[in-house]
Amino acid sequence: MTNSIIRRVIVLGAISMLSLLTVQTYWVLRTWDLQEQEFNRKVYQALLDASRNLAQATLFELPNQNLIEQLYSNYYVVNVDNDFDPKTLEFYLQRAFESQGLHEDFQYGIFDCSSKQMVTGKTIKYRKTTPFAAVELQQDEALPPHTRTELNYYYGVRFPSKNANILSNMWIVVAFTALMLVTLAFFIYTMFVILRQKQLSELQRDFINNMTHEFKTPISTINISTDVFLQNEKVRDDPRLNRYSGIIKEQVLRLNTQVEKVLQLAKIERDKIELNIEELDLHELIKGVQPSIEMKVREKEGGQLLLDLPATNTLVMADRLHLTNILHNLVDNGVKYSKNAPEIRIGLKNEGKSVILTVEDHGIGIPKEHLKRVFDKFYRVPTGNVHNVKGFGLGLYYVKTMCKEHKWKLDIRSEVGKGTTVEIRMPQERG
């Protein structure tokens, strides 16, 4: 995964999570506000009903203005402007709260004109079995008096657990908020893991790059030494020495090819690929590389290279070097995975505004469950403990990378025991 992709994932993920957090915060605050408004409405209505009943029972009239005032979020003062009995007030308060569905613990106190303090206070606790039970207020729980000193007869009601009860009524919103916070934590952890894996991947890539660069010097030395050895007349005259020298030369060249492939892919991953795009005639290109490809196919006795090129319009825009490498890699795979004499077929055909290049073999085939992963870097189809086919699993990854850079569509079909067909669809911009 490239640095730009990781940056995009982190930025887009952070924006998404921030958006979700913003929306969720808005709904939490909105729900809280609605719950509080509903709570205040019920309290106002209950206090109004209780005060009216109290006035009727005590035979006085309530003031027309400023009857109920909310001093704090959970504290309300009711100015009845007349003397009244505390027990009667307690009875009507309990009945009014019950009728409004306010099953909340509450405290009430009555203002004493002589001491200018709230007295005769009680805590009324709601219980399901016995709806309300009264407990005398402690001195440190006394309700504060109203700031308006001109008031003489009023009482105050406080709900000590108001916020907790509103929160309990929002349990669904709270649950979703908790889930969202868990998701946010998981996202942060995932980003940490991705960055950690990226760091380890870069360390691994640097190690492989350094290792392959170190291989270049001894490979070159062995190659030169082998050439000198092969030119010696005594070695040429000795069939046994000549054969072993040829094996050394062949294996050194093979090792050098694999090292070059690793270095080439490392360069592709490290730098932005710069393609030298030009108009190419696929028919001419295939004919041009036919001799070298044919040599690979005929390395195994009885190998055949078949060309099926009925396409009439074969002009495409491509990088000659990389397209040639794609052909060599696909033919290489076909040869490696053929048990007997390889039979490789290269085809070209026109379809709509595209030309389709196919490389087909009659090898061992690929099981269906592995088809999706054969283009992954370093991936090789499992063969148990048998490793007859050599390589690093980079050839098809290179093919996929180059097709992606050219914006070509790559497809693979395979059947176990019957062979594999790789198809590249190349749009024709001109022709």
3-state helix, strand, coil in the chain (%, to 5): 55, 20, 25
Calculate ∠ Cα 324-329-331, nearest 5°: 95
pLDDT score, position 83? 84
Mean pLDDT value across residues 241-247: 84
* Paired tokens of 286: 């295939």
* CA 11, 15, 20, 26 torsion-angle sign: positive
H helix intervals, 238-319: 239-270, 282-297
Let me know the angle formed at the C-alpha of 70 by 64 and 75, rounded to the nearest 5 degrees: 130
Task: Using pLDDT thresholds of 50, 70 and 90, give the confidence band for residue 338.
Answer: confident
- Residue 132 pLDDT greater than 70, yes or no: no
* Model pLDDT for residues 342-382, shown as the tens digit of each residue: 889 999 999 888 999 999 998 888 888 888 888 887 667 76
- Whole-number Å distance between alpha carbons of 325 and 379: 19
Distance CA 204, CA 198 (A): 10
- Checking 191-198 for CB contacts under 8 A at 24+ apart, the result is 191/9, 191/10, 191/13, 194/1, 194/6, 194/9, 195/6, 198/1, 198/3, 198/6
Any residues with CB less than 8 A from the CB of 7 and at least 6 apart, and which?
Answer: none
The fold adopted by the segment(s) 277-427 is: Heat Shock Protein 90 (3.30.565)
The candidate with the shortest Cα–Cα distance to 103, out of 76, 129, 140, is 129
Mean pLDDT of the chain: 83
In the prediction, which pLDDT does 134 show?
A: 56
Amino acid at 308: D
* pLDDT tens-digit map of 264-287: 666 666 656 678 899 999 999 998
Name the nearest CA neighbour of 357 among 409, 322, 431, 401: 409
Residue spans per domain, the chain: 3-169, 172-270, 277-427
Residue 59 in this model has a pLDDT that exceeds 50? yes
Q: Model pTM? A: 0.49
pLDDT surpasses 50 at 109: yes
pLDDT at 206 over 80: no
Instruction: For residue range 18-41, list pLDDT tens digits in order.
Output: 898 899 889 989 999 999 999 999
